[in-house]
Amino acid sequence: MSATVAKPKIFVVIYSMYGHIKTLSEAIVKGLKEEGVDATLYRVEETLPDSVLTKMYARKFDEIPVLAPEDLVKADGFLFGIPTRFGTPAAQVKTFWDATGKLWATGALVGKYAGVFTSTGGQHGGMETTIFTFLPHLAHHGIIYVPLGYQAPELHDQSEIIGGSPWGAGTIAGGDGSRKVSEKEIQIALTQGRTFAKTILKAHQ
């Protein structure tokens, strides 16, 4: 009789102001689940007051539960969805990590796995730098970064503008946020979910 092995637990942790990261995250969760891992979507806490959010025409995603930083210990791996701000991660995500000092001090996240995906307003507004500048958080916590690489064939497609890079899936929101996540960007996000799940499953054999 073989013992039942628990499915690896993956938290997809996002910040989204206009919904592009949220759309990508749904494809990521789908890809993860297709490969048989346990995937749950969370968001980081908002830090801006309602008065500012209203002026920014921000959407609210109250249906997604907020992840308490200390609950990162409950997962085996993470996929972080982060929109760019000036080519670097949104401050809401930085605030989340700045509350993980105790986890760092106890090495609670050492050896866990993480991938990252992003959204930018423009094609050259930080698709790669946003993920790149997020990596120190992983390094300091001893979390193993899992890049997407070129596992999604759409990354070679130059027939249209496509977000995403070997660093992770991505979408281009447009200067006014009106561009919708394209079908090819959804496919890249699906691939990131699937390939990340395969990496985690291999590590948990």
Ligand X SMILES: Cc1cc2nc3c(=O)[nH]c(=O)nc-3n(C[C@H](O)[C@H](O)[C@H](O)COP(=O)(O)O)c2cc1C
Interatomic CA distance for residues 156 and 196, integer angstroms:
20
Confirm or reject binding of residue 147 to ligand X (CB under 6 A): no
Q: Which residue is nearest to ligand X (CB)?
A: 125
96-119 CB burial, b ≥16 within 10 A, e <16: bbeebeebeeeeebeebbbbbbbb
- 92 binding ligand X? (CB under 6 A): no
Choose the binding region for ligand X from 19-27, 63-71, 107-115, 142-150 (rule: CB under 6 A): 19-27
| Shortest Å, Cβ 125 to ligand X | 2
What six digits make up the tokens of 42?
Answer: 């969370």
119 touches ligand X (CB under 6 A): yes
Give the nearer residue to ligand X in terms of CB position, either 84 or 192.
84
Interface with ligand X includes 121 (CB under 6 A)? yes
* Pairing relationship of beta strands 77-85 and 88-89 according to DSSP bridges: antiparallel
Q: Closest CB to ligand X among 41 and 103?
A: 41
When asked if residue 94 is in the footprint of ligand X (CB under 6 A), the reply is no
Which residue number, 59 or 102, has a Cβ lying nearer to ligand X?
Answer: 59
- List C-alpha distances in Å: 56 to 6, 14, 48, 140, 189: 43, 19, 10, 33, 27
Among 9, 145, 177, 203, binds ligand X (CB under 6 A): 177
Q: Which is nearer to ligand X, 24 or 114 (CB)?
A: 24
Spatial distance between the Cα atoms of 20 and 172, rounded to a whole number of angstroms: 8
Q: Write out the residues near ligand X by the rule CB under 6 A.
A: 16-21, 83-87, 119-122, 125-126, 173, 177
